[in-house]
Amino acid sequence: MKFFADTSDLDAIKDLADLGMLDGVTTNPSIIAKSGKEFLPLIKEICGICEGPVSAEVASTDFDTMMKEGKKLASLADNIAVKVPLTEAGLKVCKNLTDAGKMVNVTLCFSPLQAVLAAKAGATFISPFVGRLDDIGNEGMDLIHEIAAIYDNYPDFHTEILVASIRHPQHILQSAKLGADVITAPPEAIKKMYNHPLTDKGLAAFVEDWKKTGQSIL
Ligand code: G3P
């Protein structure tokens, strides 16, 4: 299971890389806007830190401009995955860039049928947004279940399921149980996976008991 960081925060990306918990990075226009930084230099910098795929999203919605933007983004580094929206034009861009040997992440997926289209367009990754489905009263993880079941039926589909819009560790746990290839999550959600009150309690007791021995390992 691969962990992608859904952020453009360089310190957070470095931190996860140092922990060995970083297999890739995803960004989107909202994340870039929040950073307040210049898009292209920022993406290049992320690609310098992260060896795995770094998703950089096109900004236009028409085929011709998306193609130009996608080619430019792909030229920034070998590990760029061009992110395109799940629209007819976006899937056409996906097919063209995939045929040209580029990685493509198809984003804003909210239905299993959309995921089928992305796989047929040759997407490297499909990004179903689980949190945003939860937000409107749906069960986001049901979508992952359905996509996984469909993709399993067709060995010629090579698209990886990249669970996106993750809000908390439960989403990560469910993704793992369903065999999702990748999760992309805010670094805080990944860090929360370390936490368990019994670990803290157990460690505190071990530290106290060790003090009583009066010994030192070093
Ligand atoms: O990167 C796309 C996705 O992860 C966005 O998440 O929290 O804005 O729904 P969110």
**Per-residue H/E/C for 108-165:** EECCHHHHHHHHHCCCCEEEEEHHHHHHCCCCHHHHHHHHHHHHHHCCCCCCEEEEEC
The pLDDT tens digits for 27-56 are 999 999 999 999 999 999 999 999 999 999
Q: Has residue 218 been placed in a domain?
A: no
Q: Is residue 204 situated within a structural domain?
A: yes
Supply the pLDDT for residue 158.
Answer: 97
State pTM to two decimals: 0.96
Quick one: average pLDDT of 165-173?
Answer: 97
E strands, the chain, where?
2-6, 24-26, 54-57, 80-85, 103-109, 125-128, 160-163, 182-185
160 Cβ closer than 6 Å to some ligand 1 atom: no
- Residue numbers of the domain that contains 139: 2-213
Helical (H) or strand (E) element with 87 = none
Is there a domain that residue 70 lies in? yes
Nearest CA to ligand 1 atom 4: 165
What average pLDDT does range 158-175 have in this prediction?
97
Q: Is the dihedral of CA 200, 202, 208, 213 positive or negative?
A: negative
Nearest CA to ligand 1 atom 7: 165
Report yes or no on 132 lying in a domain: yes
Angle formed by the axes of helices 169-177 and 140-153, nearest 10°: 20
Ligand 1 mean position to 196 CA, how many Å?
26
Q: How many domains does the chain have?
A: 1
Given 44, 83, 191, 192, the catalytic residue = 83
**pLDDT score, position 10:** 98
Question: Do 144 and 128 form a contact (C-beta atoms < 8 A)?
Answer: yes
C-alpha span between 98 and 146 (Å, rounded): 24
> From the CB of 129, is ligand 1 less than 6 Å away?
yes
In the reported structure, the alpha carbon of residue 19 is separated from the centroid of ligand 1 by a whole-number distance in angstroms of 23
Nearest CA to ligand 1 atom 6: 165
Q: How far apart are CA 185 and CA 162, in angstroms?
A: 10
* 17 lies in some domain: yes
Question: Is residue 196 situated within a structural domain?
Answer: yes
Q: What is the pLDDT of residue 183?
A: 98
The reply to whether 71 belongs to the active site is no
**Domain containing residue 130: CATH number:** 3.20.20.70
pLDDT for residue 52 = 98
Torsion of CA 135, 149, 85, 168, to 10 degrees: 40
> 128-159: per-residue pLDDT in tens?
999 999 999 999 999 999 999 999 999 999 99
User: Is residue 131 lining ligand 1, measured as CB closer than 6 Å?
Assistant: yes
Residue 110, in any domain of the structure: yes
* 53 within domain boundaries: yes
Distance CA 115, CA 113 (A): 5
